[in-house]
Amino acid sequence: MQTTGNTILITGGGSGIGRGLAEAFHVQGNQVIISGRRQSALNEVVAANPGMAAFTVDMADADGIIAFANQVTQAYPALNAVINNAGIMVNEDFVSGNYLATAEATVATNLLGPIRLTAALLPHLLAQPKATVLTVSSGLAFVPMAATPTYSATKAAIHSYSQALRHQLRNTSVEVLEIAPPYVQTFLQGEHQANDPHAIPLADYISETMTLLATTPENGEVLVQRVHPQRFAEQTGKFATMFGFINPA
């Protein structure tokens, strides 16, 4: 991927991996546009990074996504890249039975959101000389965490969607890349994850990811070393071992 000179939209850019990528691209001279649900979080990022732009959007709102896409492309007609990063991760307890609302919200945000935004932006991106659609899946797309079944399922679906999208767009100006993070120190699941020594520090993850993005990732997948055991668990015959590690009895 060309990592400079872009006009790039990053959803979920108010915190975590989204903010990390936004700031990294900003430093490299890209016009960065971030989005999220919380205006206060977006304002904080923009204030710390003069020149960034921000728009609010709820990635579970189908009509809102269409309006948002139109707003962004009208304000920034040079838009040539989008990172579908926004997502939620909430535990679900099948035994208690009180999980369906969480599952439906997760599907709406994590799966339908990126599909809807990509559909809304694709005509614009196809008209650019060179453009990139980046999806964010997870190591849990390949070895799921039982406590977050729908999150893991949406990320597996994003992986499949990315492969199909890449194939269909192979003869166009739009490149399709998939970013599959491992366990990273963010607030996605709260304070514990942000400070868990078993998670890769956010700064380290962003640095390695940006290095990989500047190359030609194999099979269009941006995989830091820490996620390789999950990504290739099936191929290496270690799925059961990795599943047990992620989901201890």
Catalytic residue ranges: 151
* DSSP tag of 6: -
Where do we find the tokens 């609010």?
56
The contacts of residue 212 (CB under 8 Å, 6+ apart) are: 222, 223, 224
16-27 vs 39-48: helix axis angle to the nearest 10?
A: 30
Which of 23, 25, 24, 34 lies closest to 4 in space, CA to CA?
Answer: 25
Output the six-digit token pair for 57.
């959007």
Alpha-carbon span 40 to 37, nearest angstrom: 9
Contact indicator for 84, 133 with CB cutoff of 8 Å:
yes
| Strand segments (E) across the chain | 7-11, 31-36, 53-56, 81-84, 131-136, 174-179, 221-222
